[in-house]
Amino acid sequence: MTAPVRSEELLIALVAELIGSVRHVAVGAASPIPAAAALLAATRTPSMRVSLLSSRRHNFFTDGGRELFDCAGQGRVDVFFLSGGQIDGHGNVNLVALGDYGHPTTRFPGSFGSAYLYFVVPRVILFRLEHSRRTLVEQVDFISAPGTSPPGVYRPGGPVALVTELCRFDFDRARGGFTLATVHPGHSLEEVRDRTGFDFALAPELRTTSLPDPATLALIRGAIARELAEVYPAFAAEIFGVARP
């Protein structure tokens, strides 16, 4: 009997669908679910290049983040992922601090190149597992990467979606806000509303997030899990029972 679909597997399949068919998807550090989704998407588009910054096998960069920024600035990265301590309803990301900037209550690791990549990568997928009013807020305390820009600002990049443990939001760049597109199985619209700190629109036909089909699930638990174990051995062992090669 096939084991029930885990939430991590659902999210991997969902994010792979959001990636679609592109030339190049890059994934930063500490992102096992986006990394697995990128590897899954690449099985459907063999020409797709996947860059996992912590990988030896899936990383053609020789100069780390600096080379990634150069590549993105040249228009050679199509999809990237961002997260943050806070994300607000306008797609703004906070990776700096909570509270007053001069006297913060909490410090985050910092924004690194997120603001730059947010501007130049055409499809940025926001990913935040914890869906709560402390993470998805009405307005971030500090904007380290803005979701939108004023008219006249050259900006080919920006957010296209936000994926959480409860749902998927699509981002409307013209309106500068999120639309709830799907709710994951076992959760409800009421729960999403109760645990979201910002207002959002509803899709005309709000759907339940689709479960991965048996073939996709087998691929995730097999080849994708083995590939992922190189970069995220603890995650692969916990979720899939796969040891690092």
Range of the domain at 37: 7-240
- Is residue 219, in this structure, part of any structural domain at all? yes
- We report the CATH number of the domain holding residue 164 as 3.40.1080.10
Output the pLDDT for position 156. Answer: 95
Q: Domain tally for the chain?
A: 1
What's the whole-model pTM score?
A: 0.95
In this structure, is the dihedral angle defined by the CA atoms of residues 78, 136, 66 and 50, taken in order, positive or negative?
A: negative
Site of tokens 């803005």: 146
Angle between helices 32-44 and 7-19 (to 10 degrees): 50
Question: How many other CB atoms are found less than 10 A from the CB of residue 150?
Answer: 7
- Is residue 217, in this structure, part of any structural domain at all? yes
Output the pLDDT for position 144. Answer: 95
Residue ranges of the alpha helices (H) in the chain? 7-19, 32-44, 64-73, 114-120, 189-194, 214-219, 225-228, 233-240
**How confident is the model over 198-230, as pLDDT tens digits?**
999 999 999 999 999 999 999 999 999 999 999
Site of tokens 């999120």: 178
Output the pLDDT for position 7. Answer: 97
Q: Is 47 strand, coil or helix?
A: coil
- Is residue 245, in this structure, part of any structural domain at all? no
Output the pLDDT for position 1. Answer: 62
Binning the chain into helix, strand and coil, the percentages to the nearest 5 are 30, 25, 45
- Is residue 42, in this structure, part of any structural domain at all? yes
Output the pLDDT for position 169. Answer: 98
- Is residue 22, in this structure, part of any structural domain at all? yes
Q: What is the mean pLDDT of each run of 10 residues along the chain (245 residues)?
A: 90 98 93 97 96 84 79 95 97 96 90 91 98 98 96 95 98 96 98 98 97 97 96 95 82
| Nearest-angstrom CA–CA distance, 118 and 124 | 7
DSSP state for residue 144 in the 8-state scheme: S
- Is residue 2, in this structure, part of any structural domain at all? no
- Is residue 60, in this structure, part of any structural domain at all? yes
- Is residue 1, in this structure, part of any structural domain at all? no
Residue 106, beta-bridge partner list? 98
Output the pLDDT for position 111. Answer: 84
